[in-house]
Amino acid sequence: MKEFRIKDSTIKIILGDITEQVTDAIVNAANNHLWLGGGVAGAIKRKGGQIIEQEAMAKGPIEIGEVVVTTAGALKAKHVIHAAVMGQDLMTDADKIRLATQNSLKQAEELKIQSIAFPALGTGVGVFPKEKCAQIMIDAVISHINKKGKIKRFDFVLFDPSTFATFERQLDAAIKSFSQ
C-alpha cells in the first residue's frame, strides 16, 4: 500500500478487491446503460447482489461521464457510484475518464461521504492505457482536494500487481510535482 497526505485528506493506492472495501462509497466503472457485465461491475453484482444492477438500470440510460448512485446491497460500502465511463461500444477515452472521475467526486460531496474507493476506470473492458488512466484520476483527486472538498480518504483499489504499480508510479510523480 502507498499512502500520501494532502491537507486533511489521504490518498491510498491499495492492491486488493474493491468489493471488500469498507468505505462510504465505491465507484463502479459503468457503461451508460448501467447494466453490470464483466470486470469491476460484474464483481460488484456477484458480491453485492442483483439489487444493485436493478437500481442502477432503473436510473439509466445516462450520458457518458455522468453518474448515478445506488445502495451497495451486500457490500461493505454504503453506496455504489456508477460512473458511466463508456457507452454500449465499451470504448472510452481520456475525456470520458476525467469527467466520470470528477462527477463521481462531485456526487460523493453531495452525499457528504468521508471515504471513496475507485477502480482504474476504463482499463479493463475499455482497454484504456493504465498509465494515462492513473495520471488522469490522481490529478482529478488532487485537484478536488485543492478545491477544499470534504472527502477525507481517497482509495484507488487495484486488482492486479501491474495496475497497482502503475498507480503507485503516478502517485509518486504527482507527489514530486506537488512538492515543488
Domain locations in the chain as residue ranges: 2-179
* Structure confidence at residue 177 (pLDDT): 78
Q: How many residues does the structure list for the chain?
A: 180
- How far, CA to CA in Å, does 170 sit from each of 82, 87, 139, 166? 24, 27, 9, 6
Q: In this predicted structure, what is the pLDDT of residue 178? A: 67
Class of domain 2-179: alpha beta
Would strands 9-15 and 2-6 be described as parallel, antiparallel, or unpaired?
Answer: antiparallel
Q: Cβ-count burial of 88 within 10 angstroms (0-12 exposed, 13-18 middle, 19+ buried)?
A: exposed
Cell 468489493 locates to: 19
| Entry pTM | 0.96
Decide if 136 contacts 94 (C-beta within 8 A): yes
Q: What is the pLDDT of residue 7?
A: 87
Contact call for residues 27 and 117 (beta carbons, < 8 A): yes
What whole-number distance in Å separates Cα of residue 106 and Cα of residue 123?
Answer: 22
- The pLDDT value recorded for residue 176 is 82
d(CA 143, CA 82): 21
- Model pLDDT, residue 90: 85
Q: Which residues of the chain have pLDDT under 50?
A: none
Task: Verify cis geometry, omega within 30 degrees of 0, for the bond prior to 161.
Answer: no
Residue 9 β-bridge partners: 6
Share of the chain above pLDDT 70, in %: 98
Q: Which residue has the cell 477502480?
A: 119
